[in-house]
Structure 1
């Protein structure tokens, strides 16, 4: 607002009489010039006093002074403000202090013409160290008590100080001098304050207080008191405060509110074509007890006026270092287009930006910039921020970067809360394209960090040299929305490393397409991502389905370098609904390991609608992509409980050239896969290449208390390309439970553990090694090693301290069980004669029921052998179960069973090795059953068979080593029959095999007494006569009848009992027993009751006792 008056209304210079005979004198020189003479001289100081002081537009007023005067102190004791519309001049080199408590107005044509410094103030008096003062309000008080007055020490403000207004003025001091405007409110409108290499101070006080004067006549500085209410300072309408020079130059603002608007500017630094090596510009300092506001002004019409800026720079043709910018306030707000900029565009370094606000920093499109510009040579300084709240919206930016030759400083932020919201709202620490320099990184300490809606924190290099590390310490941390990210990267075309990301927080949430990413797209290594948190949650895709939430390290296509490690230490990790943890190689280089330590829980939960592409599934991935060259890292997981659900994955894969990483899981209490999977494999385009001295043990290794695989869950090691698949190793202290087939579009996939060489692949399958207390496979669940390509399926080794229980067939027809399979397209790998895998099982008990199988098969037309089955268990129970080996054209595999207690078969159970399912060659395999300390029991007429058959080849060999009298319900036959239980070794077109039942050379009747063949007369006591109509008793020899062969032998569990059946003479041998006893009465006949047993109904338990009908007297005994 313009407050000056027309020239005709202005009073001119009116001296007062307070200085007595030393009063000021106004001497007209010409119509446009007046000179001030007289005044009181004290040492090097000259004092003037006026009741009115105004300069009309176009006029000049000059102060004369004698030689030796350093300071002119001028006061206005009247009641009116001073209107300075013309030129204020000082003859000589003295500084001019001008005091008017009522206010000072500089008009549009106002100018300063002096070689010293200028202080314009609405203070009431000047204070001196000797206790005297030069007062404009108490002018009658003698101000000068000594002959020699020292330099003043302060400005005393009283009441409500008047305002200082600079309206369209151009006020300038000489090089290195001070220009200070200190009053109540200080307003610059369309004005220009210039002090090259000097000092400009603007400040306001709104109540009683003292502003200290520091320095001396040649270096004036001011210090505002704490605890005193300050007034406002504002610059508008393209006002500028400029101290640019070849060095030096300071700007200091002290205010309650500092408002910089409408393209107004504070500028310091080294000006064009100035400076020298070692030169340094001064600082810009703004101290606001309330707010620093640099933002657009919106007029009532809706017109938006641009923001201002604060700049401290080294210009393009300059040499030297820029100074710093210090901002201290309660609130800092930078609106759209506002800028705080410390940079170098010439030869020299940029200073620091240091901001300290008690409450809030709000960048609503405004920017904090510290950088090295293009073509510049020098380093940028740091950006240091301390605040309670930092908010960036609408493209708000904190940027420390280099586009030239030089290093970038560090960004340090300490805030109670930090929020970045919206696209281009970001914190950057970068090396630009074709630049040469390192960045020092970003350090953030806060309670709450929120990065949303496309905002980012980015430390990257696009030039030559390295990007710094991002370190974040936050109590709670949220990344939310598409392209919201924390990035440490080496960009395309860059040469250098990124130093990675470290996050320390209580709770980390990354969702809806947000990401934490350390990558390289150039020539250099990406840094690691390290997260230490109480809980970590990665969730959901963004609005763009291609945007997955997660944590990523990568080497991009055409890049050369290694990706860093992903290390997560937490109590709880959740990855769900499309989110991923992913370390990938698409160029040339190695990916590092993914290591997750979660003390309590790791939960991976996929989406309800399962994506078609496997790499889109929720999970943890380490991969080498197609056309890439490099090694994938391991995935290492340590937790109490691991759950993987709804098609979520843990996956290491090779689609390029290199080696494959492992998946190593240690879940102390439980690992549960419900429709989820762990996969390690070579893809169709993959080719495993390893140095001879760097062979890697590729594997899925799980150590846990209990393992559960349900609803199509799989642990799978496979190769679809060139190279061996890895091993699968499982150690469970308690149980392993595998159940069912998949859901949705995975109904054909069984739950299970798999090692596979797929069609067109070249390589061997890895072994499956499982150790547990007990293992259960149900409803089509499988443990399977297979090959459909060129190579052997792996060996399956299972050790169960207690029970193995395999049960059922899935709805898709797949049986539960352990499978080793060479499919029709399978063939030996180059240099090998056959493709086959083996199964080895060791358990306390093995149960195969309802279609479950242990199966080694070769369906290929290639010559060779099926694999072998080797089972050691005290108890093997088959109930509609099978132990099978079969081939299409090769020799059948061997089956070896070592049974300590019992082999039990019923309901169409099979132990078979069959060769030549197709009409082609192949001999039957061998079956060896060692039950020398146990029993072999098959329920008759239920078609339980032990077979070693062939088609055109020779039958195999069946060798059974039973315990004496230890085979029941099954017998050798030439051919199988439909209803009987058979032992066969036949061939349809070839020579039959051999069945050998090798009973140990022991006489089971040794030491026994033969019962007589005829009855003997038995004397019965009269008291025990059989009542009339009652039947007597007969005894028959029915064999063992449930007793063990020897008193030293124990009865076996799981026996088969047959019902008593009627006696038939033609099938039963009976013996009548007669005895005599002198104590019994022989003349009484004993009536007899007959009990019979079918000799084919065998029992290993004791026959139940019976009681004949007796007289009551006998019964009472």
Structure 2
């Protein structure tokens, strides 16, 4: 019966077997065909549902359940809605019940909601043909499909779509044999440029469709499962939309596509469930292949159970394609594992979409897969060559990747209590063209942990924002910045690596653009530890850094703020330039202690033959440098550290350097207590043999400075001037078998000046020097209330071939008489134990000469020697000290000599 634009049908039983069809007919004025099954038995549909009414939508209700077989198909001009609801609400208040009612009135209002009277809700299922041969495919979508722009809706209890129809494609292999290439899924539900709605509920209530997508409100959700290469596909000239609402959603070895091929914008994919799980290589794809913008992918869950081997991508694929859609995932916990790959990128002029992850508790990435499809994907889109990633790296690891070859890469944002990256999992934003790399923002209230390498020769993984290209100089885009805020941060096992350059949280630039900045703020402790235990292509440990090799761009700074920072077992913090741009700075603020200690051996593999390797040491360090040996190279950045304590030991170091014409950076340490032990060093060096840049200035402002066991504060230049060193310690400076030295090894540069000022300065086999080879020696200025040095200690400013330098010491005489112990009044009479003196033997007077220390017993040979006043002016060149006069107060008020910090 027709009422208005609605045509109503009632069936006691409704089944369509294989080879059968059911045709709905009516007036062209019909807009909605509304059918119900009243007999209480589920419907089995394995044939064709058809309608010859143009553009009419078909609503099919059977509260007992609906099952679609492998041969089920649709031939409709309009949309298809199937439900196990008890009634269909029409307009505001009218209901069309599946079970006939007394005095039933049929409404002309449009369908608005599916209604369920109780919690006993039947299921909807659909089963495909499984694997077929390619020649068996007729070229049309399998399963249920509607015309372009139309909608398929499944609304009921549990919904199961399984055993999707698919076949394997082949390509000619290297040996001339056909080999498997990819899997072609033929579709389970297909609505090109249209919409797929799936809503599973387990309680009474209404599922509204008035706003174009299902809304289950506060109803309890049921289960939706798609498995066995099932495919939900709304791809088209303008991609459609997929809306899924349930209590539990599982995708197992299946896919959801919303690809855009034309100039219309894509709709997107939206999944809301209590729990979401992706398993066994499932795929979510919202790519744009035309001028239209790719659709957004939104997933919200109370609990994200797992995403195992998922391939989740929103890409702009071709030149001139529109912007990529964004990805937004939120849940109580988010877990990606076993080679999961989440990617938003642009291969054309469109911009990449934003990737957002929000979890109430934890976000976790980890696990490795040898999945053939993921191997194919990475071989096609990442390596740009036929190398199999499994052979090169030992597996495919979980990644979040935002990239661009033309437009700007998308940003990545993560918020959670904890973030865990293990098994070489990575988060990276990349540009390989004129666009800019996206920014990465991470906020973790409790902790961020990056741990666990996965095997020999593997990508060690990490967090990176990159401007890179296989063709150096071809990139003009800027690398983005990384911002990380957390309660604690742990980076271990050789993590991070970007563009095969370093196992660190790093920016790497291979073009003309600028690197971004790394900004780390941690309320608790930061631990950077170790190297990849299985080896790597580079002898580099875990760490944090910013670097680049561009021609003109400047490179980003590293800022770290924490309660404490530990860099150990070969880890590092670095900012470096490998090109003509200036390197970035490293700025560290810790309220407690900075600790740098130890080294680790690394297996360094050949980049061409992984069976070949050498073993090298990676030293724990803070390092800033300019590493291109060219006279026009950029300047190294600076290092600034503020801490209560700095402890450097076991070959640990803080260093700035230049191997070209750029200047080495300055080092400034503002610290309560500075301790260097066992070959530790703070160094600024210039190593280019000719026309090298100058070494940087080292400034230490502390209460206590102690160097022991062959440790050093030093500046060194091969061909330029040596850098200055200024050490201002309120309480003490103590050198034991260590040195403070500024030197020029070759060339005509002058030795740098060394200034030390402290209440007490003690040199026990310690050296303070400012020497040069060809140029003039530098100057050494020492001011102290108590200056004591051993006989093995040296204070000098010499030159092998140039003018000698100047040494000036301002220190009072040391009088220790007040602290001497009185000698006993009676001594042992040892005359009977001694031979007679010459005088007694000869009877002649004998003269004698006795040497003693003033006001003291003779000083033992191996004891510290008090320094008398001395004025070593061993150069006839004029200096500030000569002009102002020895020991004049003006010498020690000269900020250029003593450093710019007032004390």
CA distance in 2, matches of 1:902, 1:594: 51
1:884, CA displacement in angstroms?
A: 2.3
Query: Is the counterpart of residue 352 in structure 1 residue 282 in structure 2?
Result: no
CA distance in 1, matches of 2:701, 2:281: 57
CA distance in 2, matches of 1:758, 1:313: 65
1:584, CA displacement in angstroms?
A: 1.2
Query: Is the counterpart of residue 164 in structure 1 residue 43 in structure 2?
Result: yes
Per-residue CA distance 1:1075-1094 (angstroms, 9 max, x = gap): xxxxxxxxxxxxxxxxxxxx
1:119, CA displacement in angstroms?
A: 5.9
- Counterparts in 2 of 1:297-696, with a 5 A limit? 308-314=187-193, 322-323=194-195, 325-329=197-201, 330-345=222-237, 349-359=238-248, 361-373=249-261, 376-418=262-304, 421-423=307-309, 425-474=310-359, 475-481=361-367, 483-491=396-404, 494-533=405-444, 534-557=446-469, 558-579=474-495, 580-607=504-531, 616-625=540-549, 628-675=551-598, 676-685=620-629
Structure 1 residues 528 and 191, CA gap change in structure 2 (3 angstroms): closer
CA distance in 2, matches of 1:447, 1:619: 30
CA distance in 1, matches of 2:14, 2:266: 42
Alignment correspondent of 1:846: 761
| Conservation of the 8 A alpha-carbon contact between 2:463 and 2:506 | yes
CA distance in 2, matches of 1:571, 1:631: 31
Give the secondary structure class of the aligned counterpart of 2:805: coil
- From 70, 76, 83, the equivalent of 1:195 is 76
Give the secondary structure class of the aligned counterpart of 2:157: strand
Alignment correspondent of 2:121: 230
- From 668, 675, 687, the equivalent of 1:737 is 675
With normalisation by structure 1, the TM-score equals 0.59
Per-residue CA distance 1:492-527 (angstroms, 9 max, x = gap): xx3210131111111111122111101111221001
Give the secondary structure class of the aligned counterpart of 1:585: coil
CA distance in 2, matches of 1:555, 1:936: 71
CA distance in 2, matches of 1:804, 1:94: 95
Give the secondary structure class of the aligned counterpart of 1:176: coil
Query: Is the counterpart of residue 770 in structure 1 residue 656 in structure 2?
Result: no
1:461, CA displacement in angstroms?
A: 0.9
Structure 1 residues 172 and 599, CA gap change in structure 2 (3 angstroms): same
Give the secondary structure class of the aligned counterpart of 1:875: strand
Relative contact order, higher structure (CA 8 A, sep 6+): 2
CA distance in 1, matches of 2:536, 2:8: 82
| Conservation of the 8 A alpha-carbon contact between 2:258 and 2:266 | yes
Structure 1 residues 827 and 590, CA gap change in structure 2 (3 angstroms): same
CA distance in 1, matches of 2:886, 2:591: 47
1:780, CA displacement in angstroms?
A: 0.4
1:571, CA displacement in angstroms?
A: 1.4
Per-residue CA distance 1:645-683 (angstroms, 9 max, x = gap): 012111111111111111111111111111221111111
Query: Is the counterpart of residue 722 in structure 1 residue 658 in structure 2?
Result: no
- Counterparts in 2 of 1:775-924, with a 5 A limit? 775-788=705-718, 790-808=719-737, 816-823=738-745, 826-828=746-748, 834-849=749-764, 851-858=765-772, 860=773, 862=774, 864-879=775-790, 880-902=792-814
Task: Answer with 1 or 2: which has the greater Rg.
Answer: 1
1:531, CA displacement in angstroms?
A: 0.8
| Conservation of the 8 A alpha-carbon contact between 2:83 and 2:156 | no
Alignment correspondent of 1:55: none
- From 253, 266, 274, the equivalent of 2:144 is 266
Structure 1 residues 610 and 753, CA gap change in structure 2 (3 angstroms): farther
Q: What is the number of equivalent residue pairs in this alignment?
A: 718
Structure 2: gaps spanning 5 or more residues: 88-96, 131-139, 167-182, 202-221, 369-395, 496-503, 599-619, 817-853, 877-884, 889-903
| Conservation of the 8 A alpha-carbon contact between 1:177 and 1:218 | no
CA distance in 1, matches of 2:108, 2:556: 70
Give the secondary structure class of the aligned counterpart of 1:891: coil
Give the secondary structure class of the aligned counterpart of 2:655: strand
1:417, CA displacement in angstroms?
A: 3.0
Alignment correspondent of 2:54: 175
Per-residue CA distance 1:748-783 (angstroms, 9 max, x = gap): xxx111011114361000000001101100000100
Structure 1: gaps spanning 5 or more residues: 1-44, 46-69, 73-92, 125-160, 240-261, 271-280, 299-303, 315-321, 691-695, 742-750, 809-815, 829-833, 905-934, 947-957, 962-982, 988-996, 1001-1117
CA distance in 2, matches of 1:587, 1:199: 53
| Conservation of the 8 A alpha-carbon contact between 1:175 and 1:198 | no
1:556, CA displacement in angstroms?
A: 0.5
CA distance in 2, matches of 1:110, 1:411: 37
CA distance in 2, matches of 1:945, 1:506: 56
1:96, CA displacement in angstroms?
A: 6.6
CA distance in 1, matches of 2:664, 2:779: 21
CA distance in 1, matches of 2:165, 2:191: 24
Structure 1 residues 406 and 803, CA gap change in structure 2 (3 angstroms): same
CA-atom RMSD in angstroms:
3.9
Structure 1 residues 224 and 430, CA gap change in structure 2 (3 angstroms): same
Alignment correspondent of 1:990: none
CA distance in 2, matches of 1:181, 1:221: 14
CA distance in 1, matches of 2:887, 2:297: 86
1:940, CA displacement in angstroms?
A: 6.8
